[in-house]
Amino acid sequence: MVRGVTNLVFCGVGGQGVLLASEVAAQVALEAGLDVKKSEVHGMAQRGGSVFSHVRFGERVYSPVIPLGEGHMLVAFEELEALRYAPYLSNQARVMVNTLRVNPITVLSGEATYPRDPVGMLRSRFLHVEAVDALALAVEAGSPRAVNSVMLGLLSRYLPFDPRLWLSVLEARVPARAREINVRAFGLGRELFS
């Protein structure tokens, strides 16, 4: 994929570390010598609203925005958000989804219902769907806030960058007091499905 442009979509709700995860992935690609473009939308993120980011890298990238149907990988921190951003993916895309459900305000108010089986809906459309309880792994690593590092570890399995580069960038981006936990969380994510 690096010969052309690789398109990554990150999504979740505010407070999950979606933007940090996308920043780490973008920095890894940049430090590997590739051209990188990134965009993000986080509107009501502070209130648990939808957050997403596009990361594109390759020899030459002209736009930070992934056209609909052209995403190669989706890193979703919440099940409903994975469904929301699935239209950005090609049919051959790899979907990595945290099996967490956060009810949006429309569900809480009774205006809408949460889909019964978002992961099943994703599996009916995409061949490569990996559902993981990233929260449980983050807690095992030492903090529920390390979900993003678990998901980055999983993502790192499918990109052609040295794991040491991932760890170097991750360690530089998280506070010193959280480095050991995030390194452990990254390792647990990287070991999944092996």
**125-163, pLDDT tens digit by residue?**
999 999 999 999 999 999 999 999 999 999 999 999 999
pTM of the predicted structure, to 2 decimals? 0.92
Q: What confidence tens digit (pLDDT) does each residue in 10-56 have?
A: 999 888 889 999 999 999 999 999 999 999 876 555 556 788 999 99
Domains of the chain (ranges plus CATH)?
A: 5-191 (3.40.920.10)
CA distances for 22 relative to 125, 127, 129, angstroms? 24, 23, 19
Residue 93: pLDDT band (50, 70, 90) is: very high
Nearest Cα neighbor of 99 from 84, 86, 82, 87 is 82
Rounded to 5 degrees, what are φ and ψ at 109? -85, -10
Q: How much is the pLDDT for 103?
A: 81
Cα distance between residue 166 and residue 158, in whole Å = 12
pLDDT at 194: 58
